[in-house]
Every structure is written in structure tokens, then in C-alpha cells.
Amino acid sequence: MYTLRSSAYGIRRRENGASMTRQPAIEANGLKKAYGAVTVLAGIDLSVARGSVFALLGPNGAGKTTTVRILSTLTPPDAGDARVAGYDVVRDRPRVRRAISLTGQYAAVDEMQTGEENLCMMGRLAGLGRAGARGRARELLERFGLTDAARRTAGTYSGGMRRRFDLAAGLVGRPEVIFLDEPTTGLDPRSRQAMWDVVRGLAHDGVTVFLTTQYLEEADQLADRVAVVDGGRVVAEGTSGELKRQVAGERLDLVLTDAAAFAETARRLGGRLVHSDADRLTLGVATDGDAARVRALLDEIDPDRRAVRRFAVRGATLDDVFLALTSHQEAAQKETADV
């Protein structure tokens, strides 16, 4: 077992300059990007508070990666502007890069070097002296529960250890903003929970965390605010609770009797569906939870009481939000492909 110490990430608190103002850690206005005839971003607007966890959700191809690349200065926008840690991502690229860390699923480390050697090397590259780099490496290894693995080569680390090590590597330079691209993909539940603790600790210590994830539960658990991007635009933004209330307060879950009943019920519900699983014969539809309206809806979709095996009303989830907000774009893409 390992313990991640709170308030111990050694985050730099600058006493002057842009980082001490009340302006957002990340601010984007009208970001646009196209590759040839393909529009990837059609006007992205974002505002991320300092010391918060912000999650960006969206289907594949929605523009998440391009947004992160622009905010981290790897790709220039075609139009619009953005500031990170108070600096313009186009005009002040060096300052932005000094203020951020960009961590993908795996960091670019030398797998033949030990964990301590890797962190020392990164410390030297960040401008630390030999003793300072060694001290910073040992500090981070301890903070992330990796002291016992300090002299093992990075290539021997397990998946969970490697993700923690990658985050430690990203913190060598004490960034104000860290971009995390799907940090728990492929991890087992225990390792995922440990990474969640790491992210919470970062925010607690004042780091702004910009998170992209394919796990909606992860965004639900971690993010102070969530933005859903689809078709190159932000289609909704708010707290997890606000987004759930925006889509629906409750959800009626149905288990159908057979494939024919599933198909017919899905046809009746049409665009009102927020969940559909043909293999499990389950459907979900938004409802306000009112008993009379739930009965009326059941009468509408199953007048003969033969199609629905059982049903239940439950609170909406972030999955419902995601499906409701992105299904129109997916349907439009399918219609275009079918033409």
C-alpha cells in the first residue's frame, strides 16, 4: 500500500505577475481550427477557475484533443484567442509552457533509467542544480508513494505506478496548470481510485487541472465544472448537478421482454431516448419523476402491458447528459454518411 500526502506537492505560489490575479487559469474565446475542408473547432469558449478541476467531455472527433493542443501551445488556432496562467497561447508561448504540464496516458520517460534518474534529469532540464534536482526527485517519489521503486527502471513499473510516476514527472517544474489526457485509461478500479486521490490533492494545493476523460463517472467524481463539446462547439457547461438537471431530473429505465418489444418501444420513444442497449434489452427515457406522468408514459409505450418486463425510476447520470447532448450530432453524421 502507498499513501499520497495531502498539501505536499510543492506547488509554486508566485507573489507577482499574472498568476496572482483573479483572472481565470484558462480562458478561451471563439477558438476555431480547420484542417483542409474539415472544421474541428467551430468557436470554443471556455473559462476555468484557478485551483479547480475542469473536465472536457465529448465523443471521438468532437475537438477535445485539438482544444488541449491549442491551450498547451502545440497547435495555433485559426481564429479566436486563449490565455493560460494569464499568458496568451500564441504571443506568450514560452511563458505558457513554463506555467503548464501536459501529461498524456504515458509521459516521455526513459524506460531504461530508474525513476529517480528520470526525475533528476527532468529537474536539470527545468533549470535546477544537481542537488536541487535530486531533492525534488526524492520529494516527488515520496509524495506519490514511489520511494521503494526509486531505483527500479521505469519500464518495470505497473500501470498504476506508471501513471503516478508520469504525474510526478509533470510536477517537477511546479506547474500552475496541468493538462491530463485520460489519466486512468486501462487502470484497474483500485489504481483508478488512487489516481483520483492524486487529482484531488493537486487541486487542493492550488494546481488547476484540465481533464479529458472517457469515463463519465470520473468527471462526475472529480470535476468542479464540466463542459461537453460536440461538433467543435461547447454544447453545455456547468457543474455535474446543473447538467443533470438541464437534461432531466429523473430517468425511467425499462427492461423489455424480447427483441421485437425492444425495437417497437425504441421506435415509439424516438428522440426522447437517453439510453439504449439492445443486447440487454434496456431503454431509458427522461422524465420529471411525477408518478402520474410516469404512468401515462408507460401507457403510451406499452398499452397492452406485454412489452415491458420491469421498470424503475432513478436520478439522471452524467451518461444521460452526454448521450442527450451529443446524440443529435451523431445522428446528423450518420444521415450524412447514408446519403
Which triple of cell numbers denotes residue 261?
418489444
Judgement on whether residues 123 and 269 belong to the same structural domain of the protein: no
Grid-cell match 535530486, residue found? 134
Return the top range by mean pLDDT from 22-26, 196-200, 258-262: 258-262
Number of domains in the chain: 2
Give me the amino acid identity at 263.
A
In a domain, 11, yes or no: no
In a 3-state reduction of DSSP, which class is residue 55? Answer: strand
For helices 130-143 and 115-125, angle between their N-to-C axes, nearest 10 degrees:
130
pTM: 0.72
85: Cβ–Cβ under 8 A, 6 or more apart, which residues? 18, 19, 25, 95, 96, 99, 100, 176, 177
**In this structure, what C-alpha cell is assigned to residue 38?**
474539415
Rg (CA), the chain: 23
Question: Do 63 and 34 contact (CB within 8 A), yes or no?
Answer: no
Higher pLDDT: 328 or 262? It is 262
Grid cell for residue 106: 504515458
Instruction: State the helix-helix crossing angle for 159-170 and 115-125, rounded to 10 degrees.
Output: 20
> Across-strand partners of 181?
212
DSSP state, residue 63: S
For residues 78-104, b (16+ Cβ closer than 10 Å) or e, as one string? eebebbbbbbebeebeebbbbbbbbbb
Q: Return d(Cα 311, Cα 283) in angstroms, integer.
A: 10
pLDDT of residue 22: 73
Q: What is the CATH number of the domain that holds 294?
A: 3.30.70.80
Question: 272 with 194, same domain?
Answer: no
Note the pLDDT of residue 58.
86
**Range of 290's domain?**
249-314
Instruction: Note whether 261 and 227 are same-domain residues.
Output: no
Domain match, 76 and 145 both: yes
Confidence category of residue 19, pLDDT binned at 50, 70, 90: very low
Regarding whether 289 and 198 lie in a shared domain, the answer is no
- Measured CA to CA in angstroms, residue 55 lies from 31, 36, 72, 228, 333 at distances of 18, 28, 16, 8, 25
What the block records as the C-alpha cell of 292 is: 402520474
Please check whether residue 21 lies inside any domain of the structure: no
Q: What's the pLDDT band for 1 if we cut at 50, 70, 90?
A: very low
- 265/218 same-domain check: no
**Three-class SS state of 72:** coil
Structure confidence by residue, pLDDT tens digits, 319-328: 777 777 776 5
Question: Which CATH number goes with the domain that contains 137?
Answer: 3.40.50.300
CA 304 to the chain's CA centroid: 44
Tell whether 48 is covered by a domain: yes
Question: Are 253 and 275 in contact, with CB atoms under 8 Å apart?
Answer: yes
- Which pLDDT tens digit goes with each residue over 217-241? 888 899 999 999 998 999 989 998 8
109 with 70, same domain: the answer is: yes
Average pLDDT score, the chain: 85
Last residue of one domain, picked from the residues 241, 269, 304: 241
pLDDT on residue 107: 63
Q: Mark whether 101 and 68 lie in a shared domain.
A: yes
Closest CA to 181 of 82, 272, 122, 106: 106
Check pLDDT > 60 for residue 111.
yes
Query: pLDDT tens-digit profile of 129-145?
Result: 999 999 999 999 998 88
Domain termination site, one of 185, 211, 241 = 241
136 and 170 part of one domain: yes
Give the separation between CA 38 and CA 139, rounded to whole angstroms. 46
Mean pLDDT of the region 187-192: 81
- Contact, 232 vs 41, CB < 8 A? yes
Same domain, 204 and 298: no
